[in-house]
A and B are shown apart, each in its own frame.
Chain A
Amino acid sequence: MKSTDQTRIHEALADATFEAYKSAVIRLPPDVLRVIEQAAAAETSPVARGEFDNILQNITMAEKLGVPMCQDTGVPVIYLTIPPDVPLTKELYDAVAEGVRKATKEVPLRPNVVDPLTRHNTNDNTGHGMPAIHVKPGEKFTVTVFPKGAGAENMSRIGMLLPSQVGQVEKFVVETVFLAGSRPCPPIVIGVGIGGTFDGAAAMAKEALLQPLDTMTEYERGMLAAVNRLGIGPMGLGGDFTALAVKVKTAGCHTASLPVAVNIQCWANRHATVEVPL
């Protein structure tokens, strides 16, 4: 591939990242909106219904005004699929960062990324190892932006359970939501990664949040019902919907291990995918 082609691809990727970021923070994916609307219609607590009214009005208003639906515009979690004819180079990572910087300035996004120890803010939402970029091979060249806010992310947990504790996975998930209480801005979406390795379980829990929320397995529905029995409700004000959905991903693991990761996401399960034109 010629270098001019390379430059063009990098520019296209930066633009696509910008577009996906902007779209993600302003409007929710249709499946996410559907589960919020379904919950709003089914909720029985008057206080919780008021919270759902505000959430739905807020979603409408963000779209109408073209502004982010939440002031915590998150940190950039990025998923790329790369087709066989696009070489995976450092420049691809730079192009994504460029798109993030542009989005920070122009959407605008709140500058959230700091050095973990000095707490120095880079003011452009990039930094060492940030954006967090995950790459997979694919047929099309796409960029998915999943802005992750801190309120919910901070409530996430990982447990290295014993192989004999397969029956305790639900307890670990319910306990995570119980400990989180009102802090992750419920109604939440719960991503669960089971198996793999310590780091792999966490990655699966995050990826699970990107799967369609309006279809759940029996296992997922069972965990959702258990979580909702806690009655924490929207914003911790009580109600039928502490969570909107539970999504599980699994991977093979060591016979002596049972890693379980729970990634918590607030109702604003924002993500958008844009195809990069080649």
Chain B
Amino acid sequence: MSAKIAKPVQLRTPLGEEVLALHAGDHVELSGLVYTARDEAHLRMQKEGIPFDPQGAVIYHCGPVIQDKRVIAAGPTTSARMNELSGFLFDKGVRGLIGKGGMGTRVREQLNGRGVYLAFTGGCAALAADRMTLKGVFFEDLGMAEAVWVIELDRLPLVVGIDAHGSDIFGEVSKHADAEFARYRKS
């Protein structure tokens, strides 16, 4: 029989030291303001500064569909594209990233003692939209997908993918897959 999922931990932004108590594999529900950012927004923020208060902030790797100032669809994008673009965010106080697919070793190290990477299920745009209210936008000239949208979450269901103690589910899973595929390398 399968194990039961434990009750999710409730979190609200801005995040503080409470993120340090989380462990990879914990289910959480996140509420409060988050900021979407993909490749272009990261580059712009590095150049021009972060347009919102980064203390305890959470960045969501997402290019949503927005229509009539409403979030229509807003699932996560592949976080690994931001592997080399995220360090400055933690230095400014950012405590969390939301995305899909996990991130590289460098981000795992950068999160150490500071923050967490939260995985949201890829493709779950309708579920996401149901838990989101649009509050504002920065860098709208970057286009719909690349702009920084300010979104209020209401209990978005997430799982801790990388915690603040160096534990990384994605890393463990990759190691297992690598060992399994090794059988074929011999053939």
Q: Once the chains bind, are B73 and A234 in contact (CB under 8 Å)?
A: no
A235 beta carbon closer than 8 Å to chain B = yes
Interface residues on A, range: 35 or more
- Evaluate whether A233 and B173 lie within 8 angstroms (CB atoms) in the complex, with A67-B73, A174-B184, A182-B102 already known: yes
CA distance A266 to B122 in the complex (A): 9
Please give the distance in Å from A164's CB to the nearest CB on chain B: 13
Main secondary structure of the interface of B (DSSP, over half): mixed
Q: Which of B78, B125, B130, B174 contacts A71 (CB 8 A)?
A: B125
A130 and B126 alpha carbons, distance in the complex (Å): 26
Interface flag for B98 (CB, 8 Å) = no
**A62-B127 Cα distance, complex, nearest whole Å:** 7
Beta-carbon contact of B177 and A230 below 8 Å: yes
A128-174 interface (Cβ within 8 A of B): 149, 151, 168, 171, 174
Chain A residue nearest to B123 in the complex (CB): A70
Complex Cα spacing A90 to B89, Å: 52
Residues of chain A with a CB closer than 8 A to B72's CB: 67-68, 71, 108
Report the minimal beta-carbon distance from B18 to chain A, rounded to whole angstroms. Answer: 20
Q: Which stretch of B43-51, B59-67, B104-112 is in the interface?
A: B59-67
User: Judging by beta carbons under 8 Å apart, are B125 and A69 in contact?
Assistant: yes
Interchain CB contact under 8 A, B181 and A183? no
Contact B126 A54, beta carbon cutoff 8 Å: no
A168–B124 Cα gap in the complex (Å)? Answer: 35
Convert A216-242 into 0s and 1s, putting 1 for each residue whose CB lies closer than 8 angstroms to a CB of B. 000000000000011111111110000
Residues of B within 8 A of A171 (CB): 184, 187
Known interface pairs A185-B122, A185-B123, A233-B173; A178-B129 also in contact (CB < 8 Å): no
- Specify which chain A residues have a CB less than 8 angstroms from the CB of B174 in the assembled complex: 181, 236
Whether the pair A54, B125 counts as a contact (CB closer than 8 A) is no
Check B101–A235 contact: CB distance below 8 A. yes
Give min CB distance, B174 to chain A, whole Å: 7
Answer whether residue A51 sits at the interface, using C-beta atoms and an 8 A cutoff: yes
Contact flags B154-181 to A (C-beta < 8 A → 1, else 0): 0001010100000001101110111011
Tell me if A44 counts as interface (CB < 8 A to partner B): yes
Digit string of A18-29 for contact with B (CB within 8 Å is 1, else 0)?
000000000000
Task: Tell me whether A46 and B101 are in contact (CB under 8 A).
Answer: no
Contact (Cβ within 8 A) B157 A50: yes
Closest chain B residue to A68, Cβ basis: B73
Interface presence of B25 (CB below 8 A): yes
Please report the C-alpha to C-alpha distance between residue A231 and residue B125 in the assembled complex, in whole angstroms: 25
- Residue of B4, B25, B67, B126 near A62 (CB, 8 A) is B126
In contact, B144 and A235 (Cβ under 8 angstroms): no
CB B185 to nearest CB in A, in angstroms, measures 9
Which residues of B approach A to under 8 Å, CB–CB?
2-6, 25, 27, 62-65, 67, 72-75, 78, 80, 100-102, 119-130, 143-145, 157, 159, 161, 169-170, 172-174, 176-178, 180-181, 184, 187
Beyond known contacts A49-B2, A70-B125: 10 more, CB 8 A cutoff? A44-B2, A46-B4, A47-B25, A58-B127, A61-B127, A61-B129, A65-B129, A71-B73, A183-B101, A238-B176
Can you report 21 residue pairs joining A to B where beta carbons are below 8 Å apart? A46-B5, A59-B126, A62-B125, A65-B129, A69-B126, A71-B62, A71-B63, A71-B72, A71-B73, A71-B74, A108-B72, A151-B122, A171-B184, A171-B187, A175-B181, A178-B177, A181-B101, A182-B102, A230-B177, A231-B177, A233-B173
